Amino acid sequence: MKNKFLELKNISKSFGKVSALERVNFYIKGEPEIVGLIGDNGAGKSTLIKIISGIHTPDCGEIYINGKRMENWSVVKSRASGVETVYQDRALAMQQTLARNIFMGRELTNIFGFVKSKLQFAEADRLMRTIGFTSKVFASDSAVVNLSGGERQGVAIARALYFKANLMILDEPTTALSLTEAQKIFDFIHQAKKGGSSCIFITHNIYHAYDVSDRCVVLDRGKIVVETDREHTTVEQLVKDMQKIAQNNGKVREGINNARS
Amino acid sequence: MPDLEKKQNNLDRNQEFRRSRRGITKFLDNNRRALSVFIVFIILMLLFIIKNPKIFLNREIYEAIFRSLPIRIVLALPLVFVIVSKEIDLSFVSNMTFSLWIFAATVKAGWDPFLCMLLAILAGALIGLINGMLVVRIGLQSIMATIGMKFLLTGLVAGGSNIMPIPLTFLVDTPFYNTFAGKIGNFPVQMIWAVVALVIAMLLFNYHKFGSDISCVGDNLESSREMGINVSTVKTLAFVYVGIACGFAGVLSGLTYLSFYPKPGSPDELMLAVLASVFIGGTPTTGGVGTIFGAFIGACTIRFVETGIIEAGLTGFWTQFFEGLIILLALTSHKFHKSR
């Protein structure tokens, strides 16, 4: 149990008759790491991160934070432990400034509730620089709506970083982004890791996962089927593994169809 | 090392300079809509002066306007908060009449006018609180909830007072009257209170956590909730703020016209004129953004247009035509600003 920030043991979750997760074991190391969570639609990725964020309660299994077993795991407890989930677009108020978005709901104020704007702008500038946001056009007092998709994600990452997230969960951050924009997000994530935050990077895209992650975890029909360190595999090997899984799925489907007919 | 420090200081100074430059352009950019209305306002004033210099270069017309304009300003400013939070309040004029009724009835009964004013403000705030609860707790749409409240209050005041006016002339020249409706030289004190209301609203909207929360809630409700903003409280407070303003505007109205008289029909005109002030000032109904200064300029523009048209020799019937024209022109120009 030592040296692990988060550990899930034998986690199962069903929705009615559908089993979303079956006896899943998952962990995040104590030192910052980036974990790519890959899987097809319905593989159980969303269920797993919702359990980590405290939105879903597992049917059975145990959750440990820094080796300590957590009872009655919830959104509040998850946040208090330093787990921040970053949802694309949904997380930002588009017409507000970068600084206002970073400090949304947790503004730096004096005792009368007046916002310390100068301090907020300075902190926002520093944070954006920390994650490698180098735009010369936009500053911390620019509206988020003017930023590109990747830069917007950067704002959400900066927010998680400011509030000292131990673990950031990025839910498909590169969907619908160009290659350059996706690369920006990878840079932001690497900088966040240097800043001390671990990251779970959820994606359909094996190449993105391989590029950015220290460790890749593949989920299939509620089970972890592949778990490998980046240095022990190649992207070609990962693709082969995924193809095998897809073929097996095809066989299973064929079997079900044959049984039905 | 000293060289490095010097370089760093220069960098910091450059950054500070760029930020201050950006501050001015940012102010112009943020208030573009309000400033464009302000320019229209100045042009209109010049036209009025050219058309009728005797009237518009005479201070009396300004004295008259500065006595009635503050009521609209006090009502319009908090409405910006409600509209930025993506809600609307259509009951504010009825709430103002209700608060005025409370003030007039209690002050006529011989109570201390300062206490009566406090009661009127509390009554207004209570109505605002009920509006807020109907919207955030019961989940009614604000347009429907506040229309209901508007009719309820209008009926309550008409039925309760029997549409009998309560004269307030006995208040003239009392310290209370002089504080809120007296004159400094020839300048009506009401306008000073309007400026105080403007400063408070600007501080709250631009520099306080409340303004920041209101903007975020109107911009992205879900995200605000996830980030820990108490969305229900923030929205309710916006309605309460409108209610407090209604109480104060009610008292100002009583002192300006020296009577309470619930005139059926006329509240709707005032309601639309105040809402129009907010919209032509540059606050859209889409939520998330708004301008307090814009609402102030909007209220001034509409009030001066009303007076200017009559003083320019046109009949009162044309007032609404020109008001409508100005509103449509202003909103069209805002649309262009947005698409840039």
Quote the minimal CA–CA distance from A181 to chain B in Å: 23
First to last CA, chain B: 47
Instruction: With cut-offs at 50, 70 and 90, classify the pLDDT of residue B8.
Output: very low
Task: State the Cα angle at A187 between A182 and A191, rounded to 5°.
Answer: 150
Contact A155, A141 (CB under 8 A): no
Contact B227 A100 (CB under 8 A): no
How, if at all, do strands A198-203 and A167-171 pair?
A: parallel
* CA-based nearest residue to B298, from B267, B319, B277: B277
Contact B216 A91 (CB under 8 A): no
> Looking at per-residue confidence, does A218 or B264 come out higher?
A218
Cβ within 8 Å of B, A 1-30 = none
pLDDT higher than threshold 50 for residue B45: yes
Contact B202, B42 (CB under 8 A): no
pLDDT higher than threshold 80 for residue B14: no
pLDDT above 90 as % of chain B? 56
Cβ within 8 Å of B, A 53-72 = none
Please give the pLDDT value at position A167: 92
The encoded tokens of residue B71 equal 């009521």
pLDDT < 70: residue spans in chain A: 1-2, 87-90, 134-137, 176, 249-261
Quote the minimal CA–CA distance from B8 to chain A in Å: 15
ipTM: 0.81
Quote the minimal CA–CA distance from A89 to chain B in Å: 9
DSSP state letters, A42-106: TSSHHHHHHHHTTSSPPSEEEEEETTEEPSS--HHHHHHTTEEEEETTTT--TTSBHHHHHTTTS
Phi, psi of A96 (to 5 degrees): -95, 165
Please give the pLDDT value at position B207: 94
> For residue A247, how far is the Cα from the chain centroid?
28
Q: Which stretches does DSSP call E strand in chain A?
A: 4-15, 18-29, 34-39, 60-65, 68-69, 83-87, 167-171, 198-203, 215-220, 223-229
Instruction: With cut-offs at 50, 70 and 90, classify the pLDDT of residue B2.
Output: low
The answer to whether A92 faces chain B, any CB pair under 8 Å, is yes
Please give the pLDDT value at position A254: 61
Instruction: Give the mean pLDDT of B266-271.
Output: 80
CA distance B73 to B31: 18
pLDDT tens column, A4-29: 899 999 999 999 888 889 999 999 99
Task: State the Cα angle at B64 between B58 and B68, rounded to 5°.
Answer: 150
Please give the pLDDT value at position B20: 52
Please give the pLDDT value at position B1: 44
* Contacts of A241 by beta carbon, 8 Å cutoff, 6+ apart: A218, A225, A226
State the angle between helix axes of B32-51 and B317-339 in degrees (0 to 180), rounded to the nearest 10.
150
Please give the pLDDT value at position A8: 93
Please give the pLDDT value at position B332: 82
Question: Which whole-number Å values give the CA distances from B99 to A93, B119, B122, B274, in the listed order?
Answer: 37, 8, 8, 18
Find tokens 């009583």 and name the residue. B254
Contact B26 A141 (CB under 8 A): yes
pLDDT above 90 as % of chain A? 25
CA distance A215 to A112: 47
Please give the pLDDT value at position B71: 96
Please give the pLDDT value at position B339: 41
Within 8 A of A93 by CB-CB distance, chain B residues are: 215-216, 219-220, 223-224, 288
Instruction: With cut-offs at 50, 70 and 90, classify the pLDDT of residue B340.
Output: very low
Instruction: Give the mean pLDDT of B47-53.
Output: 82
Q: How long, in residues, is chain A?
A: 261
Instruction: With cut-offs at 50, 70 and 90, classify the pLDDT of residue B93.
Output: very high
Please give the pLDDT value at position B11: 47
Element (H, E) at A118: helix A117-130
Please give the pLDDT value at position B307: 83
DSSP state letters, B18-51: HHHHHHHHHHHHHTHHHHHHHHHHHHHHHHHHHH
pLDDT tens column, B205-258: 999 999 999 999 999 998 888 788 899 999 999 999 999 999 999 999 999 999
pLDDT above 70 as % of chain B? 89
What mean pLDDT, rounded, does chain B reach? 87
Cβ within 8 Å of A, B 260-299 = 288-289
